[in-house]
Amino acid sequence: MAIPAKLKQQMESQLNATIKRASPVSGGDIATTFTIRTDAGQSYFLKFGENLPPDMFNAEATGLRRIATAACIRTPTIIAETDNYLILELITEAKPTDHYWINFGHQLAQLHTHTSEYFGFVQNNYCGATPQPNPRDKNGYHFFATQRLNYQAELALERGLLNIGDVDLIERISSRLPELVPLQPPSLLHGDLWPGNQLCDEFQQPVLLDPACYYGWAEAEIAMTLLFGGFDKRFYQAYLEINPLEPGWQERSGIYNLYHLLNHLNLFGRGYYSRVNNIINRYR
């Protein structure tokens, strides 16, 4: 697929340069991705999609800027942004060493020390392609129950992916959150931290990509890193040096990951039902 001519013209106007080469990049589930090179010798990373929600790229850009403002961990610099595309700094990727995972653990822990009075965020955004509501809420239990677990469960019910009994059990878990989860402040989170949303740069420093930012529980962020196999053990050791978690955080990971598994159920279908069902029955 080529970059549509109208979009290409708009990009060139914003960049004040001609795009001489555009190479597709695999792996994007939502947007179409390219690396582009201009006649000025600059290379960038491009994401575009003409049929995406008009606020999707703005929401991503807001998250990237907020993480960058914390000055703890690198994000790609935003070069240009419209409703239809996002042009970012092109990061040179390297193979991670042990030192990378230590840097990553320390820097993510430092990010999580940035807190707010409220759970939520300055705007709603997206976790994958699913809208993620972020109304301000001083009560983290109420926020996670209503805007994460129950919200996703209702979406799945509407789509025929859960039955009413499943939803009742999820709502029961939501009502028990104060028993199951320790009190935590609203920390600045990436929000969708699976392995594909981080990379190692040429200096063995972590770079965060595709955020679904909000202020939430730090344990929820660490739990998601475990969802698809986990990061290197040095990452967790380094993280806990800066931001110790309450004992039992590994055992609580399923509660937090129920949100992301429900989201995957809504995005990708019944293949995720068994994992959702296992967690529902574990914490019911």
Instruction: Rounding to the nearest 10 degrees, give the CA dihedral for residues 213, 119, 227, 283.
Output: -160
- Show which residues are catalytic: 192
Half-sphere exposure of 265 (CA within 13 A, CB side): 28
Which amino acid makes up residue 62?
Answer: T
Q: Transcribe 173-240 into DSSP letters.
A: HHHTHHHHS-----EEE-S--SGGGEEEBTTS-EEE-S---EEE-HHHHHHHHTTTT---HHHHHHHH
CA distances from residue 57 to 5, 23, 46, 48, 62 in whole angstroms, order as listed = 20, 20, 11, 9, 9
Cα(256)–Cα(251) distance, rounded to whole angstroms? 10
Residue 7: phi and psi, rounded to 5, are -65, -40
Please give the single-letter amino acid code of residue 90.
L
Degrees to nearest 5, angle at CA 121 with 116 and 123: 155
| Beta bridge partners of residue 189, listed in sequence order | 214
How many C-beta neighbours within 10 Å does residue 122 have?
15
